[in-house]
């Protein structure tokens, strides 16, 4: 019986490590990891591979372009950036897909998707509902959001950093994005 309980605990721990977490950036869009020559972007879903006291090893999976072997994107259309690296061969490439493993501070991880995207979401609703009601994000593709937001950002009076946060949010939750509000 003790053996069965021990096996269950080990399995639950292993399943918990494989659960999806998200990169959480408190300010801005980027989480620079200079010692690893990597930059991660907020909201990126990751799998925790291992962890110790203050850091966690995470695995990211995505897509790479033919000309951008140092960038990992969310989807094959290469519109939503997950990570960049200056280190050759850090992204393991197979066809147009890629994976990478990096160490991140545990404080930069959350299991709560809403928390990971809160800054982006709040900014979108604060800036983009001054002139009109909020659009249903998943009614448009990533590419359509690029054009729609591009035509309205001057009216919203957003900064360059705010533009990046809002567009990242729109693309992540677009109909061809990686996330859905219903999830």
Q: What is the pLDDT along the chain (183 residues), one digit of tens a residue?
A: 443 333 433 333 333 334 699 998 887 788 999 999 999 998 999 999 999 999 999 999 999 998 888 999 988 888 888 999 999 889 999 999 999 999 999 999 999 988 988 888 888 888 777 676 666 788 888 888 777 777 776 677 878 888 888 888 888 888 888 765 434
Is residue 183 in a domain?
A: no
21 with 65, same domain: the answer is yes
**174 three-class SS:** coil
6 with 91, same domain: the answer is yes
| pLDDT score, position 10 | 35
Is residue 80 in a domain?
A: yes
Beta bridge partners of 103: 57
63 with 80, same domain: the answer is yes
9 with 77, same domain: the answer is yes
Is residue 121 in a domain?
A: yes
Beta bridge partners of 62: 98
Last residue of a domain, one of 106, 126, 159: 106
Q: Which residues of 49-70 are buried (b: 16+ CB within 10 A; e: fewer)?
A: eeeeeebbbbebebbbeeeeeb
Is residue 177 in a domain?
A: no
Query: Which residues of 78-174 form beta strands (DSSP E)?
Result: 81-85, 92-94, 97-105, 109-110
102 with 128, same domain: the answer is no
133 with 76, same domain: the answer is no
What total number of domains does the chain contain?
2
> By residue range, what is the domain housing residue 43?
2-106
Is residue 41 in a domain?
A: yes
Is residue 161 in a domain?
A: yes
Q: Considering Cα of 172, then 173, then 176, then 182, what sign does the dihedral take? A: positive
Distances (CA, A) of 134 to 43, 122, 125: 21, 12, 7
41 with 74, same domain: the answer is yes
Is residue 82 in a domain?
A: yes
Last residue of a domain, one of 63, 82, 106: 106
Contact 109, 145 (CB under 8 A): no
């Amino acid at each position: 019986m003790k053996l069965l309980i021990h096996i269950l605990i080990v399995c639950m721990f292993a399943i918990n490590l494989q659960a999806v977490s998200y990169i959480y950036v408190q300010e801005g869009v980027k989480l620079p990891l200079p010692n690893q020559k990597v930059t991660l972007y907020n909201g990126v879903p990751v799998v925790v591979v291992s962890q110790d006291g203050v850091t966690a090893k995470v695995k990211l999976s995505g897509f790479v372009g033919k000309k951008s072997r140092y960038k990992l994107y969310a989807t094959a259309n290469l519109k939503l950036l997950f990570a960049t690296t200056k280190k050759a061969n850090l992204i393991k490439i197979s066809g147009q897909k890629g994976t990478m493993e990096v160490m991140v501070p545990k404080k930069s991880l959350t299991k709560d998707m809403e928390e990971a995207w809160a800054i982006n979401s709040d900014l979108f609703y604060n800036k983009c509902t001054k002139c009109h009601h909020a659009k249903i994000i998943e009614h448009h593709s990533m590419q359509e959001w690029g054009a729609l937001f591009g035509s309205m950002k001057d009216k919203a009076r957003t900064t360059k950093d705010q533009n990046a946060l809002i567009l990242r949010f729109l693309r992540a939750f677009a109909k061809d994005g990686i996330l859905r509000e219903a999830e």
